[in-house]
Amino acid sequence: MSLLGNTYCISLILFRVSVESGMKLSVLCRVLETVSLALDVYGRVPDLTVCDAIAVGAFGSNAVLMHSLASVEVALASGKIVSWTWEKNVEEMRALCCGLGMTAIVLSATFKCIPLQR
């Protein structure tokens, strides 16, 4: 996973960030802070990678992080790489979030961001 921890796209116009699955949420929050953006999460951000946070449904029953998840790029068991969004792949996204990694391998994720409140 150490090779999959990069931020590769921040859109200041769309308020979105795309990251590789090995990026730690704590690092992502610090990167977003440099451009006055933040993830829409409450409280302390756990030191989980993006793929871990998706797999375990981080932040519990309020599922705030999952609501911020705009899309994912995943590798299926067949080896096919596909992109899923909540609008087009509701069942797949539901299975992926909290699926403990049993649905697909998360390669990258795009999150909706909010302006940083200082």
Q: What is the pLDDT of residues 35-63, one digit of tens each?
A: 999 887 766 666 888 888 888 766 544 45
- Residue 74: CB atoms within 10 Å: 24
Residue 82 domain flag: yes
The number of folded domains in the chain is 1
Q: Quick: pLDDT tens for 80-106.
A: 999 999 899 988 888 887 777 678 888
pLDDT at 24 over 80: yes
* Alpha carbon distance 39, 115 (integer Å): 9
Residue 39 domain flag: yes
Residue 43: CATH number of its domain: 3.30.465.10
Residue 2 domain flag: no
Q: Which of 8-12, 73-77, 99-103 has the lowest mean pLDDT?
A: 99-103
| Mean pLDDT in residue range 18-35 | 90
Helices (H), 2-104: 25-33, 50-56, 64-68, 90-96
* E strands, the chain, in order: 7-11, 16-20, 37-39, 69-75, 81-85, 105-115
What is the percent of the chain where pLDDT is above 90?
31
3-state secondary structure of 14: coil
